[in-house]
Structure 1
């Protein structure tokens, strides 16, 4: 079994009418990995071979034709049986892709309302005293991912800003130190999360030492 066959069998995303935006992102990445996305994105026309074609022309013609057929086959395999009956008459991978997008993304007004609700949910988030920075950042990233699926202009810097202004007071000293040593506008989300996790670990170690000391003193 070659690597391409192994990949296609192991990772094909299946769409069953739910979470179209997520499926579309996964399927696009899947097709790109197999070098098939061009057949959908460009929807190129396969022209007939000229008289007395060269070996290179024959090879290119065959590759382009095979690429379109494989892309169509992947889309066939990546949808449930109930959806397949609705697209089986479409002739190209591009036509199938456009139909699914048109049918399952909803109109612009619906998408705008979804984005608005998600943005409201994002803005209302506050880190609880019992939360770890990983739990809180994962919650924010989950909302941000849904927003990015609906519109592409939601940046990680907004998540960084959200974390810095909504974490509990125990992080204030670190934030002040961060502001004095780094350009906040350039700090990455990974840097913030890792730095806060390191602070959490130091705090837990101090608490453990204090507990051990108290137990020794009592004994």
Structure 2
């Protein structure tokens, strides 16, 4: 009963891939991943179930998260760890690109200005997103500095 409930919850959390004319190849990949993700034991024996369940679920989840235009490039990768590394290599960037990204974010922080037309909520959200991106790049900014920067960026009105 519990397994059936878990399966139902998993099914409801995933959107069933719908076939569109001319998109059979992408649909078949998505459908295979959907079936694998929702009923991993469908194709395997009981002895292999646990290890294969974890591997297939990890690979399926990664493939479901890849945009369609990149799916065919990654689909042939055999295991989740190799898939993760390929995604990291393709989208994560190297040391130089990360250094450049960090420099760009720091420049955006220094030049941050609130727009009169966007409103305080949107300004704050945009500022928080910038701060979060800097933190991801290991660029720590004190709370006092962020508060002052935000206040100084607001229009005088």
TM-score interval w.r.t. the shorter chain?
0.5 to 0.7
Shift of 1:131: 6.0
5+ long unaligned stretches in structure 1: 11-33, 35-57, 171-219
Deviations 1:32-86 (A, max 9, x none): xx9xxxxxxxxxxxxxxxxxxxxxxx78x63332121111122233324543333
* Selected match of 1:124 from 111, 132, 135: 111
Match of 2:49 among 46, 59, 62: 62
Q: Counterpart of 1:89 in 2: which secondary structure?
A: coil
User: Does the C-alpha gap of structure 1 residues 169 and 75 become closer, same or farther in structure 2, counting only changes over 3 Å?
Assistant: closer
CA shift in 2, pair 1:134/1:87, >3 Å: closer
Which structure ranks higher in relative contact order (CA pairs < 8 Å, sequence separation ≥ 6)? 1
SS, match of residue 78 in structure 2: coil
Higher Cα Rg, which structure: 1
| Aligned positions of 1:81-160 closer than 5 A | 81-127=68-114, 132-149=119-136, 151-154=137-140, 157=143, 158-160=145-147
Structure-2 change in CA distance of 1:127 and 1:3 (3 Å): same
Matched, 1:3 2:9: yes
- TM-score using structure 1 length: 0.45
Aligned residues: 122
Which residue of 1 is the match for residue 28 of structure 2? none
Q: Is residue 2:49 matched to residue 1:72?
A: no
Change (3 A) 1:126 1:93: same
Deviations 1:109-138 (A, max 9, x none): 112112111211111123456664323212
- After TM superposition, the score normalised by the length of structure 2 is 0.59
* Aligned-partner Cα distance in 2 for 1:160–1:92: 45
In the TM superposition, residue 156 of structure 1 has moved relative to its aligned partner by: 7.5
Distance in 1, matches of 2:8 and 2:102, equals 42
In the alignment, is the contact (CA less than 8 A) between 1:141 and 1:159 conserved in 2?
A: no
